[in-house]
Amino acid sequence: MSTRALGKRSPLQGTKARKPLHTVSTDLGHYDRSDPFSAINVLRKLLSLLPTKLGGCQYKMTPEEHKLSMHLLMIVEPFVGATPSRRNISRQPTEILDSIAFYVDSKRDLLSLALTCQRMYSIVFPRHFNYRVIKAKVSSIRVWNHLIVHRGLARHVRHLDILDERSLESEIVPSGITTTDTDVESTDDELEIHAKQEKLLISAVGRMHSLQSFRWSCTHSLILIASLWPTLLKFPRLSLVELNDNTMFLPREDQDSDEEGSSNRTKKAPVLREMTTVSIKSIKSSYGITKHPQLLRIAELLASYPNLQNLDIAYTSPRGPGFTRPTADDFYLCGRWKNLTSLTLNNLWCTTQGLDCLATFLSAHDSLETLHFDSTVASIATLATLLPNNTLPRLKELKSSREFANAILSCKSDVPRPVETLKGIKLSGSEWDRTFFANLARAGGKISRVELAGWNEMEDLRKLLECVPKLSWLDVGNRGSFGPILNKAANVYNANEWATMLMLVPEITTFYGVKLFQQVPIVPVNEKEPILCVSDRSKVKKNEETASLLAWKCPKLRRLEHWEDGGSKVIVLFREDGKIKYQVRRIKPENRNNLSTQ
């Protein structure tokens, strides 16, 4: 008879069956030591099963489970634990660490990498840190022989600087080489020493496959840059070249051009797409100079750089009759670089027949932002009529003569040019000045910096400031340096007159070219009450009045010209306890044109 029929209920009726417990395998061989994610998941699963145990076994592990948990923690600990991992970078093979250091170019970054541990220090310093920058003379054949023998170290060179034999600049070479004698230094025939040096230099440079920048200033050696240049064209990472050599402006000889012309027909010149900056300048030395310089060698050199961004070509004319300047007509006709943003051309000559080439050259480089054009152009007035509309639409900085600036600023543009800086302009009070002021008034809304090359009358400066109301930096240059010689002003100008004129530009912060302060003795900082004579006290009081006057009429003016000649000192205005004070500060000459007043 069933339980239901007897009217009784079974003790098991109405109770739910307990779910079977999920167990975790305690076999340590089932878990991969290189998989921390699986280990952490198994450990979490093992801990979640502890509350489900019955009776006194709840929250307790068996010896096998405890052993398993410790094994899982050992797998996870190297990745998330506080102790250092056994698989860190310092335990890698030496070849891998050397390859890692190879991809660090900066010496500063290399120093930081070397200071991480003793292992990295032992690799970075002897093999990389001392080889990133090499600065030596051609006659330092011990250096070139060392790089030839140790070609694995030569591939670590990033920057190579060939110094002139007469240079007083100190060399930068790997330690230990300068004191090591080699058999390549001695030679029985002194007439063959230059050929020996050239051979070693070319062979050493040929092993610098990671070279990024190259600077040549060897101007008194029989070794020419032309013999080294084919080797440099083999380096695809080369991005910066600076050549200071007169031989770059030498004309091509007939037989030389015929031989190279025939070779160029059969062999195409290599193309370096990483090259972005090229600087080619002549020097004042008479070595390698010619009376009829040309740009043919330079044009052939630049033809291998399609992605050029910065180009600087400067020629120094030697003194004496019969010397001419390089004619740039062919250069303007053929030179085209779509990514060119900065261009400097100094002391070149453009003929009347080359005006069309120059106009086309300027209009073809839409990306130009900085243009320094200190060259002579025949019939400069005609250039303004030849320039097409929208020439140089992105120009921000222009350094040129007043006539060339007129040609650029008078060219029509659909979008106003973002010109912010003008340099090299001379104001003489002529008709060209009035044309320049008219063009400047149309484009002067964004000009914030003007550096003049010279001026004659303050009225011209006043007209200039009326055209640039947002000017913040002004350097008026020298007075009476051209045109009719005017009376040179005294060392100290009338501060009230200049301050009144500077009120036309309320945003002015820096003013150079005029000395408004009188010379007083330098007082040490620790001396609170200096002893001054009567005349010096009068000068100090006058300078304080000048500082207060300038600060009152030009609230934002901070930096002015020092009373001494040179660019190592400036006068800085500042406010302290509600009073206007001035202070003399020393700056580096290269920082004179910066806005900071450190």
Question: Which tokens belong to 18?
Answer: 């307990």
pLDDT in tens, 318-368: 877 878 899 999 999 999 999 999 999 999 999 999 999 999 999 999 999
Please report which confidence band the pLDDT of residue 560 belongs to, taking 50, 70 and 90 as the band edges. Answer: very high
pLDDT at 595 (0 to 100): 54
**What's residue 1's pLDDT?**
43
Confidence of residue 530 (pLDDT cuts 50, 70, 90): low
Beta pairing, strands 240-244 & 277-281: parallel
Q: What is the distance between the alpha carbons of residues 94 and 119, in angstroms, rounded to a whole number?
A: 9
Residue 49 included in any domain: yes
Q: Which of 452, 446, 453, 451 is nearest to 467 (CA)?
A: 446
Structural domain boundaries enclosing 569? 489-598
Report CA-CA distances (Å) from 58 to 19, 62, 124, 261, 484. Answer: 16, 11, 57, 94, 108
Average predicted confidence (pLDDT) for the chain: 83
Domains of the chain: total: 2
- 313 in any annotated domain: no
Q: Which of 80, 105, 123 is the C-terminal boundary of a domain?
A: 80
458 domain-assigned: no
* Of the residues 64, 80, 96, the one at which a domain ends: 80
Please give the backbone phi and psi of residue 355, each rounded to the nearest 5 degrees, phi first: -65, -40
- The pLDDT, as a whole number, for residue 424 is 94
Return the amino acid letter for 206. G
The stretch 269-285 carries a mean pLDDT of: 90
* pLDDT confidence bin for 451, thresholds 50/70/90: very high
Q: Residue 87 has what pLDDT? A: 57
Provide the residue type at 511 as one letter: F
B/e letters for 222-231, b = 16+ CB within 10 Å, e = fewer, are ebebeebbeb
Lowest mean pLDDT among 7-21, 450-464, 514-528: 7-21
Q: Within a domain: residue 277?
A: no
- Buried residues in 338-357 as b, exposed as e (16+ CB within 10 A): eebbbbbbbbbbbeeebbeb
Residue 229 lies in a domain: no
Q: Does 547 reside within a domain?
A: yes
| pLDDT (0 to 100) of residue 333 | 93
Asked whether residue 563 is assigned to any structural domain, the reply reads yes
Residue 524: what pLDDT?
A: 57
Task: Give pLDDT, residue 528.
Answer: 57
**What percent of the chain has pLDDT above 90?**
45
pLDDT at 63 over 70: yes
List, for residues 485-504, the tens digit of each pLDDT value: 443 444 467 889 999 999 99
The pLDDT of residue 82: 55
Q: Is the pLDDT of residue 13 over 70?
A: no
CA distance 472 to 558: 10
Strands 159-163 vs 213-216: parallel, antiparallel or unpaired: parallel
In this model, does residue 539 exceed pLDDT 90?
A: no
Q: What angle do CA 11, 16, 22 make, to 5 degrees?
A: 130
CB 110 within 8 A of CB 101: yes
Domain boundary among 80, 115, 150: 80
Q: Is the pLDDT of residue 283 over 80?
A: yes
Mean pLDDT over residues 412-429, rounded?
Answer: 91
Whether the predicted pLDDT of 33 surpasses 90: no
Digit-coded pLDDT (tens) for 194-237: 888 889 999 999 999 999 999 999 877 778 888 898 899 889 89
Residue 14's pLDDT band (cuts 50, 70, 90): very low
**Comparison of pLDDT for 82 and 535, the residue scoring more:** 535
14-23, 158-167, 546-555: segment of lowest average pLDDT: 14-23
Reading the block at residue 74, the tokens are: 């050992």
Give the residue from 195, 274, 281 showing the smallest Cα distance to 233: 274
Residue 432: inside a domain: no
What number is the average pLDDT over the span 456-471?
A: 92
pLDDT at 253: 65
